Amino acid sequence: MKIELIPAHYYTIEQLTDFYNRTRVDYIVPMPMSPERLQEYVDDYDVDLEQSVVAIDGDEVLGLGMLGVRDGISWITRLGVIPSTRRRGSGNALMAGLLQNSEALGIRKTILEVIKNNTPAHNMFRKHGFNELRDYLIMRRAPRRMERETKGTAEWLERDAALALMDIPERHLSWLNQRESMANADNCQGVMLTLPDGSKGWLVYRHKKFSLAHFVFHALAGDPVSVATEILSHLHHKYPRMDAYAENVDTKEPMCKAMQTLGYFEVFARIEMFRVVD
């Protein structure tokens, strides 16, 4: 068998969607895509289809992997192998190809995320030089009326004002929630909250058609957990019929504790990993 890596941009978005969905049919968290959603994903997260790859053996598609590229950092995502073609070395070939493409661009640091308890993938990433960085939770709150009363004064912000809040260079955010990702989308909004005791903070989020997503919280004054709890309370009072789906919530961040207080539940967990080329 000879595994060949083909640049993903040689395929249509419909073909790539089909390949991706076929790799996820037995996945821990399937996350199926439509062509429209995959195109949005490519656009929002700066996926470079010329540097992304599809693995083939003759006429048979084995799997694919995508590479996001931003300002000296790359991000490996959507990597998967079609179940019927596994155990042929396709996963390792995809990883090697993506890392080679990244290094050819002069990039030294590459990051990725692996679903917790996906031991085969986790071991493969470690084999390729990746180390664990931090744990993330995917949290959800189903639509329902917020029972607790709100405190303080909330100022609701449109896209530009919300994005301006995120210019905090020392702040680490996952690729999904970075300012670049928020700026690539047209549905970014925010809220600034001031409490009677002077506590203050903000939340930036994406207001999708049926859900609120991609939450980024920052406390400016006061107890961060309390401020986060009050901001989320205001959010769900304003949008009681909206599903909330927050990806990559750092387990050590105050927003994680606030979400647990307000009835969010853990959908699954991810581990962020990184690799640096000497």
Q: Do the first three CATH levels of 4-107 and 139-271 match, i.e. the same topology?
A: yes
pLDDT, position 249: 97
- pTM, two decimals, is 0.94
Nearest CA-CA partner of 55 in 26, 85, 75: 85
Q: What band does 12 get if pLDDT is binned at 50, 70 and 90?
A: very high
**Boundaries of every domain in the chain:** 4-107, 139-271
DSSP, collapsed to helix, strand or coil, labels residue 139 as: strand
Distances (CA, A) of 91 to 13, 16, 18, 41, 68: 21, 17, 18, 22, 18
Tell me: the pLDDT tens digits for 216-274?
999 999 999 999 999 999 999 999 999 999 999 999 999 999 999 999 999 999 999 99
Q: How confident is the model at residue 88 (pLDDT cuts 50, 70, 90)?
A: confident
Of the listed ranges 32-41, 166-175, 227-236, the one predicted with least confidence? 166-175
Q: Architecture of domain 139-271 in CATH?
A: 3-Layer(aba) Sandwich (3.40)
Residue 86: band (very low, low, confident or very high) from pLDDT cuts 50, 70, 90:
confident
**What amino acid occupies position 61?**
V
Cα 112 off chain centre by: 10
- What are 121's two structure tokens? 């993938």
What's the mean pLDDT in 79-98? 93
pLDDT of 192 over the 80 cut: yes
CA distance 229 to 235: 10
Residue 48 has pLDDT above 90, yes or no: yes
Domain covering 4-107, topology: Aminopeptidase (3.40.630)
- HSE on the CB side for 75, CA within 13 Å? 22
Q: How confident is the model at residue 40 (pLDDT cuts 50, 70, 90)?
A: very high
Q: What is the pLDDT of residue 124?
A: 96
Distance, in Å, from the CA atom of 114 to the CA atom of 129, rounded to the nearest integer, reads: 14
Q: Is the pLDDT at 183 greater than 80, yes or no? A: yes
Q: Supply the pLDDT for residue 84.
A: 87
- pLDDT for position 29: 82
What pLDDT was estimated at residue 226? 97
Instruction: Compute the distance between CA of residue 254 and CA of residue 198 in angstroms, rounded to an integer.
Output: 18
Backbone angles phi, psi at 174, to 5 degrees: -65, 160
Q: Report the pLDDT value the prediction gives residue 168, as an integer from 0 to 100.
A: 82
Range name among 5-19, 90-104, 143-157 with the lowest pLDDT average: 143-157
**Distance between CA atoms of 199 and 168, rounded to whole angstroms?**
19
Spatial CA neighbour of 49 closest among 24, 77, 71: 77
pLDDT tens per residue across span 89-145: 999 999 999 999 999 999 999 999 999 999 999 999 999 999 999 999 999 999 998
